[in-house]
Structure 1
């Protein structure tokens, strides 16, 4: 039967995914919902190659939420290493405590219940429901939005997130529940490996039709700016956190000053933001430590 316009051939996409999908460890059958939740939190704005070794360490160290809940915030922050955006680690630790105390050490399957957990947003809740429990729910990340924008709507870019994204993506899902969950993973895989933002490889695309290709591959009107890291507040925050992760207790302010000497104003701003985010704390005598370690013995230079 001929496919209706503005659709994606599920049979073709699922066959392609079955043959070419990357063997990512969190996709394996034996992986638990908790371990999938950890991977989803880690993968936000972070490449797979950086996430995989840390995820493996976390699965071995904290195979269930109660194991993480029994660890301190500082231990979790140290284990997070350089994945970036370390507030995710604190929120995941908080989530583990709630799962252990209120959900019998299990990750809920219901999207609405998941949304009530600390640090779990709309994307993560649906990703867990879909990939851990096989539910037919739309899972919309940047890759999915880009594939849908191109293949279905003929646009080079998805533009800003919209309230239309979820219903439009849900309309593409196969009616069969088990096929729908795999279809969601396949859409993501296509966007991550073939229909990429900067250099889409249309010669490798399995889709028999694409509205963007049919329209002559119109050029995006969005001007992409490379985000620099060197010299930013993010880098300054990272340097200060490195000092505290490497210590076993509170450190004197001079240790932090030496970690970012180039701009005292920026250093002060970075330090204040770390305090506001709850990643670090200041003791009564003016020392600094990772969250939860303000009461341990001081580290001097």
Structure 2
């Protein structure tokens, strides 16, 4: 029989047991700190890009104090091309707080997790659930899509304050089953109930309101922003120069890294300075954060 809200928990859990990906952060013995790192890295970044970097970080910085002892520049270089490098600096600051205020351990309480630098609502609940097995709703884009389709019979809309409550209502009452259910719900959205090409023939759920209604299209069409030519790409090119350098570099090297639009390059450079990812030395050179000698 289906659990509350129209998701058949037994069917979903059986499917997850047989089909879940063998991801390294899901294995036994992985610490809460290492799971927290994986969650930060996985934000808007595919698993295939995250896995090798995560393995390197686990080997290099197995506990928060190890990461905290490294420089910002070291962390930014190790982050590589995972995207959104501000996450690397937030994780570095989070590690410092964990080392200094939490005995080098990641707290299990959601409210304490939310108080950490760079830890938002999703990450706090993901760590509480996946690292500590708590019965808390974990809502990402994949979960929202599955719930919208299976329960409400529509395509996913914009994030809503109702998302957490609706997802919590779907959780099995058993704490151990609830934690696995959260992982399974997310996995279903990642592997089967995908945004563009859902494979309904592989879906383990015996009922889906969206399928029963004829798979109606979304009321509004979402446009995917292209990466090519964006400020994000320009920022990345500038950061590439500084990551590859052994010290501060002259402005001309940054100018040559992005020649298509000088105004966009200047805007990207200013934003990197404002975000604290890079710094300018007293003599006008540029370096990664912590390497400018200022």
TM above 0.5, yes or no, is yes
Give the alignment's TM-score, normalised by structure 1. 0.96
Cα displacement (A) at 1:223: 1.5
User: Does the 8 A contact of 2:235 with 2:272 survive in 1?
Assistant: yes
2:140 alignment partner in structure 1 = 141
- State the Cα deviation string for residues 47-70 of structure 1 (Å, max 9, x = none): 001000000000000000000000
Change in 2 beyond 3 A, CA 1:39/1:5:
closer
Alpha-carbon contact 1:6-1:153 (below 8 Å) kept:
no
Residue equivalent to 1:299: none
**Change beyond 3 A, Cα 1:76–1:275:** same
Q: Distance in 2 between matches of 1:262 and 1:165?
A: 42
Corresponding position of 1:21: 20
Structure 1 residue 189, shift from structure 2 partner: 0.2
1:175 pairs, out of 173, 176, 186, with 173
- Residue 78 in structure 1 maps to residue 77 in structure 2: yes
Cα distance in 2 for partners of 1:92, 1:206 equals: 36
Partner Cα separation in structure 2 for residue 111 and residue 192 of structure 1: 25
8 Å CA contact 2:2, 2:9 repeated in 1: no
For residue 224 of structure 1, report the CA deviation from its aligned partner: 3.1
Q: TM-score, normalised by structure 2?
A: 0.98
RMSD: 1.1
Unpaired segments of 5 or more residues in structure 1? 297-301
Partner SS, residue 197 of structure 2: coil
Which one of the candidate residues 247, 250, 253 is aligned to 1:252? Answer: 250
Give the Cα–Cα distance (whole angstroms) in 2 for the partners of residues 124 and 208 of structure 1: 30
Deviation at 1:4, TM superposition (A): 6.8
Is the 8 Å Cα contact of residues 133 and 175 (structure 2) preserved in structure 1?
yes
In the alignment, structure 2 segments of 5+ residues that lack a partner are none
Q: Secondary structure at the match of 1:289?
A: strand
The offset of 1:125, in angstroms, is 0.1
The residue that corresponds to 1:213 in the other structure is: 211
Q: How far is 1:136 from its partner? A: 0.1
Residues 152 and 268 of structure 1, relative CA distance in 2, 3 Å threshold: same
Matches within 5 A, 1:183-194: 183-194=181-192
How big is the shift at 1:218?
1.0
Show the 5 A alignment for 1:81-100.
81-100=80-99
**How far is 1:45 from its partner?**
0.4
- Alignment of 1:34 with 2:33, yes or no, is yes
Q: Is 1:278 the counterpart of 2:282 in the alignment? A: no
Q: Secondary structure at the match of 2:287?
A: strand
